[in-house]
Structure 1
Amino acid sequence: MKKLNVVLFHFLCLPIFILFYSNVNAQTYGKNGMVVSDNVLASKVGIDVLKKGGNAIDASIATAFALAVTHPEAGNIGGGGFIVLMKSDGNVTTFDFREKAPLKATPDLFQDADGNLIEGSNHETIKAVGVPGTVAGLYLAHQKYGSLPWPDLVQPAVDLAENGFPMTWGLYQVALRMSELDDAYDIMKNYFRNTEGSVVQPGETWKQPALAKTLSLIRDKGHDGFYKGEVAEEIEAYMKAKGGIITKEDLAKYSAIERKPLKGSYKDFEIYSMAPPSSGGVALIEMMNLMELADLKKIEFNSTTYVHLVAEAMRRAFADRAEHLGDPDFNPELPLDMLTTKEFAKMRFDHIDMSKASLSDTSRYGQLYDGSSTTHFSVVDKDGNAVSLTYTLEHSYGVKMGSSKLGFIFNNEMGDFNPVAGVTNSRGQIGSNPNLIAPEKRMLSSMTPTIVAKDGRPFLIIGSPGGRTIINTVFQTVLNVLEYDMRIDKAIEAMKIHHQWFPDEIRYERHLLSPDTRDALELMGHKLRPVNNLGVLMGISYDPKLGVYIGASDSASKDGGAVGY
């Protein structure tokens, strides 16, 4: 009888299990709030905060710290990023917590004696680590706009690290690769192992006690729990031992900044995105302005003409961004007003030949920044406060180094600076002045956290990881929703392309572009390269008829999910 009851229990619970996990990588509805992130456990942490009366900033902070535990590939306390916040009164602000170059950084940091870039040095060595900004950014956002106590927002991440959570198949695949690394990648070699030294198996509980201790210090001491005291001392000691250049002074001097958002428009919609040192907002608004000039009602989605037009818009925006953009604190004359105007877009649009591809050449610039393993999440609360947050370690698992006493991985963001002044080539190396290395300078980024508003309230909250593809995946998803009236899940999954000026090629998602279209584009002079996937988008849209928020997680995310209530 007992065995029969157990069988009945599992049979009756099966629909509940299926219902819960059907929301992973699918469209989800919620009237009172929504969190969409790269890990469903982190999304649930954010929703729990909203249910306890927290606002969108509170939920974002809790989600971000939870992702530092559950999504270590990009969720982090060892990196940096950006927040775009739209408050319920319609006002928009942003937070810049991009990493900085250490005080000992020099313009020739990654060059040999002849002034040439030392291959791999700006991404694969300890000097590639920028001063982390995540904790400072989250703390500043909380001080300005949070409502629940800071410790309550960090505690869920402490619990996840201390008590553990089931190892997923997605993490396990990475764990097997990382366990084979050599000793130079000290923390990663043992990152996914248990106390017996074995790689944690799928379904087994993975605990991170060192990270739990670090998070506890951040919980108890806020900003100073990371940038001063024993964490800062251990970071400096680790850097000295490995030949790095970050010191306690670098950490003590780091601060996040609240900045004005970039604002653009597309027909009846207002677009808010991140200003420099992110290049995402500038390029996004420029491309949306270009597309507004086209008669898209006569251009079929995914047709040869559509792909050509989108690629040419990308080509121009990326050339402009690489030539002009960098840290505004070091480049006070950035021409943002010019690059984001309708008039400038008209000038660019007039030089698009709809019958053939333009040519990219090294007399102009063009490069994207940020490695492929960034992560993004979107949040909205019952009052209509909305957050679009993107943060990163640069490459997957950053520089793959870190102190085992602290339990987190360092970024390799110094690779986002232009490494050699004046050297621009067709392989994508850029030498323009605005983004050269300087002490305390923030490196240029392509992260594009974005909120689109209509009638004074958030209509679309969107962002993506993807390194060289971030701006373009966000751009196309926004265009899909605003121009082609796609559902958020369909807009996220629709075919994407990518052009970044250099290399001069269109990357397209394999199997999603017809052979006839590919042939026609090649006849127009485009070079094509298939890739498996572009972007991992996390989005929320608002349905005014139903009065409901709709969340969707990209199917490319192994463990992501939208959670609403």
Structure 2
Amino acid sequence: MWKIKGFIKSTCIALLPLYTFCAFAQAQTAAQAPRYDLTYDIISPVMGRNGMVASEQALASQVGLDILQRGGNAVDAAVAVGFALAVVLPNAGNIGGGGFMMIHDAKTGKNVALDFREMAPAKASRDMYLDGQGNVVPGRSLHTHLAVGVPGTVAGLAHALQKYGTMKLSDVIAPAVELAETGYPVSPGLALILAEERAHLGQWESSKAIFFKDGRPLQAGERLVQKDLARSLELIGKQGPAAFYEGEIGQKIVAEMAQHQGLITSADLKNYKVIEREPVVGNYRGYQVVSMPPPSSGGVHIIQMMNILERYPLQQYGANSAQTIHLKAEAMKRAYADRAEYLGDPDFTKVPVKGLTSRAYADELAQKIDPERATPSSDIKPGKPLPHESDQTTHFSVADEKGNLVAATYTLNLNFGSGIVAAGTGIMLNNEMDDFSAKPGVPNAFGLVGGDANAVGPGKRPLSSMSPTFVLKDGKPFLATGSPGGSRIITTTMQTILNVIDHDMNVAEAAVTPRIHHQWAPDQLRIEKGISADTLRILQNKGQTISVQPAMGRTQTIQIKDGAFYGYSDPRNPDGRTLGF
């Protein structure tokens, strides 16, 4: 059986958010004179030369690193990390949810956008979350069995491995099986989330049986053992995705649904399909940006905003100067207004991707931006791109020495999704149906407004903000990044890229820099603490409505530069870890 290796055996690990230890960086000898100020770097990323894994949980990163060291490629490692996160990051990692994966194939140079987003059951209907008076029923799309979309994670990870990996499914899933079977100590971060979600999880006996002890949530240091999940993972390893979609696991999920008036049937599971899509591609100051297409809104709007911002000398204005923040906010407002109108499942609605990402359309939007004054959201309407037509989620990034690259973001939606564990499976089920527009114009859990393009419908995939993204330089991988964070994923990912390209930050500095976010509705500029009071006053004088709120995003970024890998796990999540060798 696969055994977990100790972290002290890792060649290079980030011990603390602001400090990095690398085995190959030896202490200076007494004969060497001390040297200072050899670099502009304030914080240094983790470095490796043969491969790197960045994820939101140290144990999962270790699993991925071990796969790379055993000769697996980036996809092998990414799939292993995906299954491991289902065990060690139970509030977001999953096999009961869905997501997106970007793959860069070094052999062909091809970039693939893998869509394994959840699907609405066949019995889903447009008004299923409304009462008799046409009002949204609070909680129905979040905390009931009606909130669960048909999961895609197992199919997606298995598809990626079979087509782009080199190892057997049973081998890459074995570490996750062992972690679930033997358990691991609950971290302080997970303990805090469990405590916060006590009411959410506590209403379901199947969930309490796993995450509670003596009538209360598990506490830091106590061991989280998931025997049923281990059994489910082992079945998937032996029988492949059929165990989930047609076999014993699927039967238990369907039984759970039937018992609680859920909609998912055996036919829904059997009919689930993974889709390979063409990435959306843009250019920014000589770099190529390659990201996830619809039903993700991320790639489209990252490129749309960067097309607007490229005309401004952001490097000259400075990172997080009032002028830079103001211009970013104005670009964000216009992109999110378009998101509400046009974005949805491209298999069911026409999404004007080319128009939204065209430079001509960006020119039109930029002409409406006043560099000295904020435009109220009430004055911003969705544009007309057609003439130009020719919180909880987790992200991980993996790179290997052959040049393969993976950026994957997958989710249950909110922390622990629906909060429902399908009895006998150990599998936490998503509440992704809330990502549809329950009613046009009514915000979802993240405050996002949607329209007819994202209305509930049988077989549809809900719109997402997940934005796994590559940046290429001269056609070769330069950056892999992405983040959780609901509606803030898109702006977090974009700011990470701008910090590297415009402000010459390394990936560690790009991660720790305070972030901003504006999503058109509500009309407020959300800002993390750390921006100067003088800057905030200037922004307020420009008409921006400031709201200082908690941390946004938790990026996992790898940069390829000068024949080496440089990575960093966002310190906003203390459980994250980047490992290289």
The counterpart of 2:550, out of the listed 529, 532, 537, is: 532
User: Measured at CA, do residues 179 and 132 of structure 1 come closer, stay the same or move farther in structure 2, by a change above 3 Å?
Assistant: same
Aligned to 2:103: 85
Q: Are the equivalent residues in 1 in contact too, given 2:252–2:423 (CA < 8 A)?
A: no
> Pairwise mapping of residues 48-67 of structure 1 onto structure 2 (< 5 A)?
48-67=66-85
User: Contact 2:393/2:409 (CA < 8 Å) preserved in 1?
Assistant: yes
Kept in 1, the 8 Å contact 2:332–2:519? The answer is: yes
Residue of 135, 150, 153 corresponding to 2:172: 153
Cα distance in 1, alignment partners of residues 201 and 344 from structure 2: 36
| Pairing partner for 2:506 from 487, 493, 517 | 487
Change over 3 Å in CA distance of 1:199–1:524 after alignment to 2: closer
Question: Superposition pairs for residues 80-119 of structure 1, below 5 Å?
Answer: 80-88=98-106, 89-119=108-138
Structure 1 distance, partners of 2:79, 2:428, is 19
CA contact (8 A) 1:178 1:189 kept: no
Q: Percent identity?
A: 44
Please, which of 6, 9, 15 is the counterpart of residue 22 of structure 1? Answer: 15
Partner in structure 2 of residue 186 of structure 1:
205
Deviations 1:440-469 (A, max 9, x none): 100000000001011222111100001121
Counterpart residue identity of residue 284, structure 2:
Y
Q: Return the TM-score normalized by structure 2.
A: 0.89
Shift of 1:523: 1.8
- Give the match's secondary structure for 1:73: coil
Tell me the TM-score normalised to structure 1 length: 0.92
How big is the shift at 1:181?
A: 5.5
Cα separation, 1, equivalents of 2:273 and 2:63? 27
CA distance in 2 between counterparts of 1:20 and 1:298 reads 34
Q: Report matched runs for 1:297-308 at 5 Å.
A: 297-308=315-326
> Corresponding residue for 1:377?
396
Q: CA deviation at 1:350?
A: 1.2
Q: Distance in 1 between matches of 2:9 and 2:103?
A: 34
Q: How big is each residue's C-alpha offset from its partner over 1:368-408, in whole Å with a ceiling of 9 and x where there is no partner? A: xxxx0100000001101000000000001101012241112
The letter for the 2-side match of 1:323 is: E
3-state DSSP of counterpart to 2:477: strand
Q: 1:529 to 1:24 in 2, by over 3 A?
A: closer
CA displacement at 1:558 relative to structure 2: 2.5
* Alignment check: 8 A CA contact 1:365 1:430 kept: no
Q: CA deviation at 1:190?
A: 3.1
Residue type of the alignment partner of 2:579: V
Aligned runs of 1:514-529 on 2, under 5 Å?
514-529=532-547
What is the Cα deviation at residue 422 of structure 1?
A: 6.2
Count of residues paired in the alignment: 542
Aligned to 2:429: 410
User: Which whole-Å CA distance do the structure 2 matches of 1:422 and 1:202 have between them?
Assistant: 41
- Counterpart of 1:8? none
Larger CA deviation: 265-274 vs 401-410: 401-410
Contact 2:13 2:580 in 1 (8 A): no
**Is 1:552 the counterpart of 2:568 in the alignment?**
yes
1:548 partner letter:
A
CA RMSD of aligned residues (A): 2.3
Question: Match for residue 563 of structure 1?
Answer: 579
Question: Retained in 2: the 8 A contact 1:390–1:463?
Answer: yes
Give the superposition deviation at 1:165.
Answer: 1.7
1:496 equivalent among 507, 515, 519: 515
Aligned residue for 1:405, secondary structure, equals coil
Partner Cα distance (1:284, 1:81) in 2? 18
Q: Offset of 1:361 from its aligned partner? A: 2.3
For 1:10-409, list aligned pairs within 5 A.
Answer: 20=13, 22=15, 26=20, 27-88=45-106, 89-179=108-198, 184-193=203-212, 200-331=218-349, 333-361=350-378, 364=381, 372-409=391-428
Q: Is the 8 A contact 1:179 1:190 kept in 2?
A: no
Partner Cα distance (1:177, 1:474) in 2:
27
**Residue aligning to 2:485:** 466
Contact 2:448 2:487 survives alignment (8 Å): no
> Structure 1: any 5+ residue segments left out of the alignment?
1-12, 367-371
